[in-house]
Chain A
């Protein structure tokens, strides 16, 4: 812990952290939306029915 603390204390401009994270999030979000929208229709239909299969 001490060691890590020492190096992290050197970081300047902590505020860059949240900006980076917002950016990461936005990228991920766009990717997920694209993926969901372009997902194969048959696959979606199959997946949807999973809880309903007999048991």
Chain B
């Protein structure tokens, strides 16, 4: 057969490799900042662009799409050409893929910092950038499929199946999860609401992990691990089963992110079943990877590259074991909303994605530059720094997760929450967060060492940008099945057909999960009292999304006693029907806010409390690591798009009255004035045009509708029995003082204070009480609270003993 000469495009591989290194460093650094912010809130710098709520999406997107994304392209562009014995289909598409992707990354970083976000985790990009992503991604796919068509190799190696499946699945996920209606150039509303949005989002989120962080990487594993070890993969048969089973099952498992949340039972069960089934193909893949090195462990000892890869594959095995574990309902009840999830993704991220990328780069760069790695020793040091980094990152976080979840759920013998003050459960974690910063620093230092090592390597070699290669052309074969040919090989000979089958396998799972959810009304029972947001609340909600409050706050009370005791009524499916996007959150760094506006509830705070809290959280709550948001008090709320927002909402089916858009701004102003007047009465002078007013309006709306019918009636019929005798012994009074200092100072001033001006609550150490002067009166108001005015019902928050002590302290204080 005639030999053909062609040229591999090494330049594109080089560019992607450089981008991988650059974004890897940037992504890790931003992650380090985020970790610092949680340990020391001062690192929020009181600057809107870099508060935690904006930094976190920058970090997650930088790691996933910039670092891992470029690593995927690096490996794919290198291996596709070699495995198919052909140059990439089209040089322009290659370049477009590269520059387009970098452009997206930069726009993402800039827009997130400016607060443009859709508020959906890992899909935060606004619509114009979403369109760019689609375009660039399709360019990659066309380039790959084009190369497959003009290949000089009969068989398509399993790595390429993984790339193909990844391409198709990500394309589908991205499109389905980004259907949004623009309000203006940088703002849109997602078409799904509430539960539907949550399901679509986690179908996406889960499968982004599957088809962006896993399957393309398995392609890399199946190519670069045999390469680096110089021996073929352990079992090719296993890899075939691994492939089909994995791509088919992954799609179905999404609902495991929403267990015990407002989601129909059948969807939850489906998610759990398929999640557990996922262990089988995942471990098949891990075994296949590790067994490739059987009988060659001596090589592993000597080679940093293989060490990186072994830990990577082991990390893959660990996270794919832990993932199904976390989707069991009883485990999830403990793990969800804690650092467990964060630890879990970092085993995957730091070990599997990070280490495989490092291993690949250490192998690839010397190969491309036709030289040897500058320093094997440094690569080994990098390996140990990275491994220690992972340990110092993960172990404290698991510890933090257990600590916090147990504290959340602990009840005293009297049956009240043992840690009613949410902050107590966070303060405990700070030492762990500091250790995590250490882990991150170690890992980061290793990466910097790699950058140095690779630069030195690059300097010592030279690259052949177009590398000559030879291979015979592929013989023309009949389109029909040849005698004796198996179906799979016949399919595989016809790449387009093969692609379509992969697409079907991927789509079936997604369709089964999503379609019934989206389409069937009975899945989302409507609740009569749930009404659309007022224009001011809607604007406030958009501020909530913009500031990324969802990165720390959930709005989803699960049906556990520990949660209903702490927050109030558990969340119902029908509450969220007007929420575009949903804001349930995934991690409770701060308390759940779903019931914040319920005046008779446990979470209620006054407008002025919120005002002071947003200005400086630490003034109101000791040790809080919530960032301060002073700019919300300084900046005017823009109402330019309020009318447009209302009409977009109407398009999405939110029942505002006909023609309401025109009246929206007037209503907004009226409501803002009422709130500002209320604040003024409490001594806070703020113009009604400020952003903070809208945010307060939104917070005070949360949970209000659902409690409208039931709440009021109950409060009146409940007879309050007072059981209180003032304690006079010194010990109790001192204990009471401690309770007072911890819980009451923020609103009532220091012990002994008799001047109420500037305080949230009245002075307690003067002689006259608004609610009556007898000990029983004082006890009653402390115990039952005055929720409407911002005085909590402390019987829910303090054990009876402490309640007695603090009231006794107040009464006993020398007037």
Q: Which A residues are CB-close (under 8 A) to B223?
A: 51
A47, B157: Cβ atoms closer than 8 Å: yes
The residue that A17 contacts in the complex, of B486, B512, B518, with Cβ under 8 A, is B512
In B72-88, which residues have CB < 8 Å from any A CB? 79, 82-83
B466 at the interface (CB under 8 A from A): no
Question: Within 8 Å of chain A (Cβ to Cβ): is B799?
Answer: no
Q: Please determine whether B486 and A51 come into contact, CB atoms closer than 8 angstroms.
A: no
Query: In the bound complex, what is the Cα–Cα distance between A44 and B509 (angstroms)?
Result: 29
Q: Give the dominant DSSP class at B's interface.
A: helix
Chain A: CB-nearest residue to B515: A8
Minimal Cβ-Cβ distance residue in A for B222? A51
Residues of B within 8 A of A17 (CB): 266, 512, 516
Number of B positions contacting A (CB below 8 A) = 47
Of A18, A35, A44, which contacts B236 at CB under 8 A?
A: A44
Is B233 located at the chain interface by the 8 A CB criterion?
A: yes
The answer to whether A47 touches B155 (Cβ under 8 A) is yes
Cβ-based interface call for B659 (8 A): no
B47 part of interface (Cβ distance < 8 Å): no
Which residues 232-252 of B have a CB within 8 angstroms of A? 232-233, 236-238, 240-241, 244-245, 248-249, 252
Contact A9 B520 (CB under 8 A): yes
Which chain A residues border B269 with CB–CB below 8 Å?
18
User: Closest chain A residue to B270 by CB distance?
Assistant: A18
> Which residues on the B side are within 8 Å of A11 (C-beta)?
516, 519-520
Docked pose: A15 CA to B82 CA in angstroms: 47
Q: Once the chains bind, are A49 and B232 in contact (CB under 8 Å)?
A: yes
| Inter-chain contact A9/B521, CB cutoff 8 Å | yes
A21 with B487: CB separation less than 8 A: no
- Which A residues from 1 to 41 make CB contacts under 8 A with B? 4-5, 8-9, 11, 14-15, 17-18, 20-22, 24-25, 28-29, 32-33, 35-40
Known: A28-B248, A39-B237, A52-B230. A47 touches B158 (CB 8 A): yes
Cβ-defined contact, B83 with A40, below 8 A: no
Q: Are A14 and B516 in contact (CB under 8 A)?
A: yes
8 Å CB interface, B654-709 against A: none
Near A by CB (< 8 A), chain B positions 429-470 give 469
Supposing A14-B520, A51-B226 touch, asked if A32 and B241 sit within 8 A by C-beta, the answer is yes
Name the contact of B8 in the complex, choosing from A20, A48, A50, A55 (C-beta under 8 A).
Answer: A55
Q: Is B594 positioned at the interface, with any CB of A under 8 Å from its CB?
A: no
Q: Which residues of B contact A33 (CB under 8 A)?
A: 241
B157 touches A51 (CB 8 A): yes
**Contact A43:B516 (CB < 8 A) given known A15-B266, A32-B240, A32-B244:** no
Contact B505 A28 (CB under 8 A): yes
B155 to A46, Cβ gap below 8 A? Answer: yes
- A5 CB to closest chain B CB (Å) equals 5
Closest chain-B Cβ to A6's Cβ sits at a distance in Å of: 9
B509 near A48: Cβ-Cβ < 8 Å = no
Q: List 13 A-B contacts (CB under 8 A).
A: A14-B266, A17-B512, A17-B516, A21-B270, A25-B252, A32-B245, A33-B241, A36-B240, A40-B486, A46-B155, A47-B158, A51-B232, A53-B82
